[in-house]
Amino acid sequence: MTEEIPRLEALFIWFEDTAVGAAVRESVWAFAVIESVHLLGLCLLGGSILLVDLRLLGFGLTRQPIAGVAAAARRWTVLGLSIMVATGIPLMLSEALKTYYSTAFWVKITTLPFAIAFTFLVRERMTREPSLTVSFRTRIVAAVSVALWFTVAAGGRWIGFS
Amino acid sequence: MIERFLGWLGETPWSVALLESLYAWPLIETSHVLTLALFAGTAIMLDLRLTGLGFRDVPVSAFVDRVLPWTRAAFALMAITGLLLFYSDPLKYYQNLFFRVKATFLVVAGINIGFFHARTHRTIADWDDWPVPPRAVRIAGAVSLLAWSAIVVSGRLVAYNWFECEIQPQPAFVNWFAGCSSGGAP
């Protein structure tokens, strides 16, 4: 009689057995170096997200139209997010089973799709409106954006403490 | 001398309590990392503008006047949380190779900022809305981008004990730069 392994857990065991996962885990330097690049991605993503959210709250680049600030920040958000995903996947694969048992990981990974969807659908659509000015609505959108990304980032950092 | 003082500092009750705490240390460390998004994030946005890589429609003065105060406030938080983390294990960080690399690049970043505000920034009226600023401004932005990137990376690597004084043998340069030979290791 063998104990049945839940299918999701089996998937995470498979993640850990992937060539990339094994390579990162067995290297002395790889995890540390990839993690460092992950943090540089955080600076780009966080900085470009916050620049627009500050503007929507009525701070920062208030002399510039919202649409202009959002359009200029967009490429850096996309670049930062791309760096974070590209580095986050190998980090996760290298310790997949640990992440499976980490509450912080599940908080992060379930909030992430909402943060991405909110940024590129809801916030994006609003900031494209010409002559948009700071209002209760822009403040709410900025607050939700900050809250979602804060949850993702804090959850990500906390994986390391579990 | 410094080693003895830091050794004593690390044995003070608050330092021991902080290092052994279940939640205080991780919460301070998390604050340190998350504030990075506001501090380094907004600093990088300004640097992208200075190098002409981004935000070409926004006058540089708008970043300096309206965004830099946020960068400065976030830096204060980074410094406070960073000093608390240092206080939790002073001697270990003092003799950590990556901590010293980070401190070196902090000095580089500081000199770059000082030079920019004392010299380069004075003529801002001439190039405030240039899509691509003059060479000296672009260099200041590039040096800042490289220095802060190096600070973020070396800061993250402080967590690794690859070059700890207790772990020998190490290359002579490592022992010299980490200050291992000066009798600090017990």
- Cβ–Cβ of B41/A59 closer than 8 Å? no
- A28, A50, A60 ranked by CB distance to B66: nearest: A60
**Distance in Å, alpha carbon of A92 to nearest chain B alpha carbon:** 17
- A28, A157, A161 ranked by CB distance to B34: nearest: A157
B67 to chain A: closest CA residue: A60
Query: What mean pLDDT is reported for chain B?
Result: 94
Q: Higher confidence at residue B158 or residue A4?
A: B158
Q: How far apart are CA A72 and CA A47, in angstroms?
A: 12
- The confidence score (pLDDT) of residue B181 equals 67
Q: How far apart are CA A28 and CA B42, in angstroms?
A: 32
Rg of chain A over Cα atoms, rounded to whole angstroms, equals 19
Contact B41, A47 (CB under 8 A): yes
Q: How far apart are CA A64 and CA B63, in angstroms?
A: 11
How does pLDDT run across A130-157, given as a tens digit for each residue? 899 999 999 999 999 999 999 999 999 9
How does pLDDT run across B120-137, given as a tens digit for each residue? 999 999 999 999 999 999
Closest alpha carbon to A151 in A108, A119, A117 = A108
Q: How far apart are CA B112 and CA A68, in angstroms?
A: 29
Closest alpha carbon to A29 in B157, B177, B148, B101 = B157
- The confidence score (pLDDT) of residue A9 equals 93
Q: Percent helix, strand and coil across chain A, each rounded to 5? A: 80, 0, 20
Q: How far is CA A40 from the centre of its chain?
A: 12
- Cβ–Cβ of B67/A60 closer than 8 Å? yes
Which whole number is the average pLDDT over B37-43? 98
ipTM: 0.93
How would residue B63 be classed by pLDDT, with cut points 50, 70 and 90? very high
Structural domains of chain B, count? 1
- B40, B63, B66 ranked by CB distance to A43: nearest: B40
Cβ neighbours of residue A136 under 8 Å, at least 6 residues apart? none
Which whole number is the average pLDDT over B176-183? 75
Q: How far apart are CA A161 and CA A156, in angstroms?
A: 10
Token pair 């600070």 in the structure block, residue: B151
Domain of residue B103: give its range. 2-182
Residues in chain B: 186
How does pLDDT run across A92-124, given as a tens digit for each residue? 999 999 999 999 999 999 999 999 999 999 999
The answer, yes or no, to whether residue B185 has pLDDT greater than 80, is no
